């Protein structure tokens, strides 16, 4: 999701002051690191049940967490952000040779509250490799989103007809803003999740994956249950509640029939069907070509209309682009973020947020410090979509146009272990890093194999940036490590200095890390060739014009010196 921050001056000042000082709190560490209270257990499945109350803006629910013991431990860290409160918990200790042992203590002293973390003391003696389940009962007033999705939380709003419309946006903020969980990207539930939502029977509830049950209750409410079979990011599990209508279609993809379902406000049905018809199947066709099969055939593909701009919620992508092309900026208008003109020919949110199904949802980073894997690759999916639809020259113009928004104030990769992303440049700079690497590889067929290979090698897995970097270097047959280090871990854009003396062209790299040696494609006299600059001056002869053309697809600065 794009992070165009809109906030007040005081908040921005405090944020900058904190980041500039490099100071992180105890709560930052609890949220962003694998603490001892997180390390001993592995999440297998979440079963979430929630009942929101629109009028009081409160929620009540319970979450059952199926987990496996991976090493000795009995103090469990459960994340649940204030002001939500855990009321009680119960434990079912599973044993293959005996009946389940059920334990529901009444002693509140077994739970210690530390900010947004609850430490729960379980009975000692849980066997290594055993499977157990803990059910947590909670309630309260969740944090209300101020400006979702950028300033997220639970969203209580109304649709255009004044009817209740509810959902959640919590990327970065964390799923623990509305349900108790192990709120760390490195531990996705291996066996998926279920989401049960109880609401007034005048509304409709939509969740991730497929609907497995709808029950009409005797008290004027309906309970909807949805289930995901595949591993899923915590922040991707989201309820959507409103006056929805739906329709279904099928896409014949690389793995066969993919169910596509769309849920929109009843008054938007006509324009939604038109906009989705123009964008969804071309997007799926392009992305399956470049990235491999859609990663969640078992759970289907969905677009769900939301009151906020959008988010990459797995198998239930949030859509709020108001059925316009470009990136919605208000007043019924979209904008081309690249300034090239190509971004106004398609719906930004459908393309970008769906691209996250491959990068972000299929391949997930262990630490959000490496979120460029999510956002840089997904931003590049926009470029590849433009190429699929309008040709390579158009894609080049789109990628180059995105450079105008790159600030280069902070590195793309952030600090590890404190739940802190790197620079927002992870989008457009990440795009141009990948576009540059594509030029260096100089083989589009191989580049496509690498993108597809990433989604196969790391299928439904969590990774570090170094895993992806090493994979691309290995499969390309080129050592790209210095290129990654230059663009991901510094703010300096390499400067290619050159000078001409007769038919001799001299060149070198400056403003770069030690050992930076990226080759560059140039054109002289109508002939393409490659030069291999280093930090020391290099010279090649045989140039017939005073100003060789340097390939603009390399994200570098060109400087002629005398």
- Answer for the pair 315, 296: CB distance below 8 angstroms, yes or no: yes
- Answer for the pair 240, 206: CB distance below 8 angstroms, yes or no: yes
Q: Cα(342)–Cα(116) distance, rounded to whole angstroms?
A: 44
What is the model's pLDDT at position 170?
Answer: 97
Instruction: Check whether 413 has a pLDDT greater than 50.
Output: yes
Length of the chain: 562
- Answer for the pair 88, 63: CB distance below 8 angstroms, yes or no: no
Instruction: Check whether 13 has a pLDDT greater than 80.
Output: no
- Of the pLDDT bands very low, low, confident and very high (cuts 50, 70, 90), residue 15 is very low
What is the model's pLDDT at position 513?
Answer: 98
User: Residue 321's closest CA among 337, 334, 331?
Assistant: 334
Instruction: Check whether 109 has a pLDDT greater than 50.
Output: yes
What is the model's pLDDT at position 95?
Answer: 58
- Of the pLDDT bands very low, low, confident and very high (cuts 50, 70, 90), residue 10 is very low
pLDDT digits (tens, 9 = 90+) for 477-506: 999 999 999 999 999 999 999 999 888 999
Q: Cα(214)–Cα(224) distance, rounded to whole angstroms?
A: 5
Long-range contacts of 522-531 (CB under 8 A, 24+ apart): 522/548, 522/549, 522/550, 522/551, 523/548, 523/549, 523/551, 524/548, 524/549, 531/505, 531/507
3-state secondary structure of 317: strand
Instruction: Check whether 545 has a pLDDT greater than 70.
Output: no
Provide, rounded to the nearest whole percent, the portion of the chain with pLDDT above 70.
94
What is the model's pLDDT at position 543?
Answer: 74
- Answer for the pair 332, 324: CB distance below 8 angstroms, yes or no: yes
Pair of tokens at residue 195: 């989401």
- Answer for the pair 555, 488: CB distance below 8 angstroms, yes or no: no
Q: Cα(502)–Cα(521) distance, rounded to whole angstroms?
A: 21
Q: Cα(149)–Cα(5) distance, rounded to whole angstroms?
A: 10
> Measuring CA to CA, how many Å separate 472 from each of 119, 189, 295, 449?
40, 27, 20, 10
Pair of tokens at residue 29: 């560490």
What is the model's pLDDT at position 466?
Answer: 98
User: Residue 197's closest CA among 148, 154, 158, 161?
Assistant: 154
What is the model's pLDDT at position 562?
Answer: 84
Residues linked to residue 382 through DSSP beta bridges, in sequence order:
none
**More confident: 9 or 38:** 38
What is the model's pLDDT at position 201?
Answer: 97
What does pTM read for this prediction?
0.94
Read off φ and ψ for residue 273, nearest 5 degrees.
-60, -40
Pick from 143-157, 262-276, 334-348, 521-535: least confident: 521-535
**b/e per residue 83-92 (b: at least 16 CB within 10 A):** ebebebbebb
What is the model's pLDDT at position 99?
Answer: 53
Pick from 20-34, 300-314, 367-381, 524-538: least confident: 20-34
- Of the pLDDT bands very low, low, confident and very high (cuts 50, 70, 90), residue 19 is very low
Q: Cα(62)–Cα(139) distance, rounded to whole angstroms?
A: 9
3-state secondary structure of 113: strand
Q: Give DSSP secondary structure letters for 32-99.
A: HS--HHHHTEEEEEEEEEEEEETTTTEEEEEEEEEEEE-SS--EEEEE--TT-EEEEEEEEEEETTEE
**How many CB atoms are located within 10 Å of the residue 409 CB?**
9
Sign of CA dihedral 443, 514, 494, 469: positive
Residues with Cβ < 8 Å from 521, sequence gap 6 or more?
439, 442, 528, 529, 530, 550, 551, 554
Read off φ and ψ for residue 229, nearest 5 degrees.
-85, -25
Q: Give DSSP secondary structure letters for 379-421.
A: HHHHHHHHHHHH-HHHHHHHHHHGGGG---SS-SS--TTTT--
Q: Cα(197)–Cα(190) distance, rounded to whole angstroms?
A: 22
Instruction: Check whether 81 has a pLDDT greater than 50.
Output: yes
What is the model's pLDDT at position 525?
Answer: 72
Instruction: Check whether 16 has a pLDDT greater than 80.
Output: no
Widest distance between CA atoms in the chain = 90
Calculate mean pLDDT across residues 37-50: 98
- Of the pLDDT bands very low, low, confident and very high (cuts 50, 70, 90), residue 98 is very low
The conformation of residue 523, written as its DSSP 8-state character, comes to E
**b/e per residue 262-290 (b: at least 16 CB within 10 A):** bbbbeebeeebeebbeebbbbbbbbbbeb
**b/e per residue 202-211 (b: at least 16 CB within 10 A):** ebbbbbbbbe
- Of the pLDDT bands very low, low, confident and very high (cuts 50, 70, 90), residue 93 is confident
Q: Cα(426)–Cα(397) distance, rounded to whole angstroms?
A: 19
Pick from 10-24, 203-217, 248-262: least confident: 10-24
What is the model's pLDDT at position 524?
Answer: 78
What is the model's pLDDT at position 69?
Answer: 97
pLDDT mean across residues, the chain = 93
Provide, rounded to the nearest whole percent, the portion of the chain with pLDDT above 90.
88
Q: Give DSSP secondary structure letters for 251-311.
A: EEETTEEEEEEEEEEGGGHHHHHHHHHHHHHHHHHHHHHHH-S-TTTTT-EEEEE-SSSEE
pLDDT digits (tens, 9 = 90+) for 220-273: 999 999 999 999 999 999 999 999 999 999 999 999 999 999 999 999 999 999
3-state secondary structure of 427: coil
Burial class (CB in 10 A: 0-12, 13-18, 19+), 135: middle
Pick from 8-17, 62-71, 376-385: least confident: 8-17
Instruction: Check whether 106 has a pLDDT greater than 90.
Output: no
């Amino acid at each position: 999701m794009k992070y165009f921050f809109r906030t007040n001056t005081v908040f921005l000042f405090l944020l900058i002051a904190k980041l500039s000082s490099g100071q992180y709190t105890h709560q930052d560490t609890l949220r962003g690191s694998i603490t001892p209270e997180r390390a001993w257990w592995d999440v297998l499945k979440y079963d979430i049940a929630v009942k929101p109350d629109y009028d009081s803006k409160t929620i009540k629910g319970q979450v059952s967490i199926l987990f496996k013991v991976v090493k000795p431990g009995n103090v469990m860290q459960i994340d649940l952000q204030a002001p939500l409160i855990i009321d009680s918990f119960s434990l079912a200790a599973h044993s293959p040779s005996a009946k389940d042992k059920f334990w529901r203590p009444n002693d509140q002293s077994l739970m210690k509250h530390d900010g947004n973390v609850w430490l729960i003391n379980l009975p000692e003696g849980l066997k290594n490799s055993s499977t157990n389940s803990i059910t947590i009962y909670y309630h309260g007033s969740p944090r209300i989103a101020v400006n979702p999705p950028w300033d997220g939380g639970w969203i209580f709003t109304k649709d255009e007809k004044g009817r209740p419309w509810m959902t959640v946006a919590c990327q970065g903020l964390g799923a623990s803003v509305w349900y108790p969980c192990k709120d760390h990207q490195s531990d996705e539930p291996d066996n998926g999740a279920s989401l049960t939502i109880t609401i007034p029977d005048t509304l409709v509830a939509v969740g991730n994956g497929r609907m497995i049950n709808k029950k009409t209750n005797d008290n004027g409410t309906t309970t909807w249950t949805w289930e995901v079979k595949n591993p899923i990011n915590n922040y991707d599990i989201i309820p959507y509640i409103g006056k929805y209508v739906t329709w279904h279609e099928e896409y014949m993809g690389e793995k066969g029939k993919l169910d596509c379902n769309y849920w929109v406000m009843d008054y938007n049905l006509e324009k939604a069907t038109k906009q989705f018809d123009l964008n969804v199947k071309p997007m799926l066709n392009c992305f399956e070509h470049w990235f491999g099969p859609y990663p969640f055939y078992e759970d289907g593909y969905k677009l769900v209309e939301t009151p906020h701009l959008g988010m990459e919620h797995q198998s239930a992508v949030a859509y709020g682009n108001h059925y316009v092309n470009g990136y919605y900026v208000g007043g019924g208008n979209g904008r081309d973020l690249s300034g090239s003109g190509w971004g106004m020919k398609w719906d930004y949110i459908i393309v970008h947020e769906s691209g996250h199904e491959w990068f972000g949802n299929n391949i997930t980073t262990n630490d959000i410090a490496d979120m460029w894997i999510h956002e840089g690759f997904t931003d590049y999916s926009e470029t590849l979509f433009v190429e699929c639809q309008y040709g390579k020259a158009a894609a080049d113009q789109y990628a180059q146009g995105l450079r105008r928004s790159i600030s280069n104030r902070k590195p793309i990769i952030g600090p590890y272990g404190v739940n802190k992303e790197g620079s927002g440049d992870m989008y457009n700079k990440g795009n141009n890093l990948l576009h540059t690497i594509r030029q260096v590889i100089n083989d589009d067929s191989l580049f496509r194999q690498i993108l597809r290979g990433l989604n196969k090698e790391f299928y439904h897995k969590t990774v570090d940036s170094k895993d992806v970097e090493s994979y691309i270097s290995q499969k390309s047959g080129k050592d790209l490590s210095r290129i990654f280090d230059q663009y991901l871990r510094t703010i300096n854009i390499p400067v290619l200095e050159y000078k001409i003396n007769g038919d001799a062209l001299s060149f070198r790299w400056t403003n770069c890390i030690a050992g930076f040696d990226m080759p560059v494609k140039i054109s002289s006299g109508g002939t393409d060739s490659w030069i291999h600059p280093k930090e020391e001056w290099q010279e090649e002869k045989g140039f017939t014009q005073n100003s060789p053309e340097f390939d603009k697809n390399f994200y570098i600065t060109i400087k002629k010196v005398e």
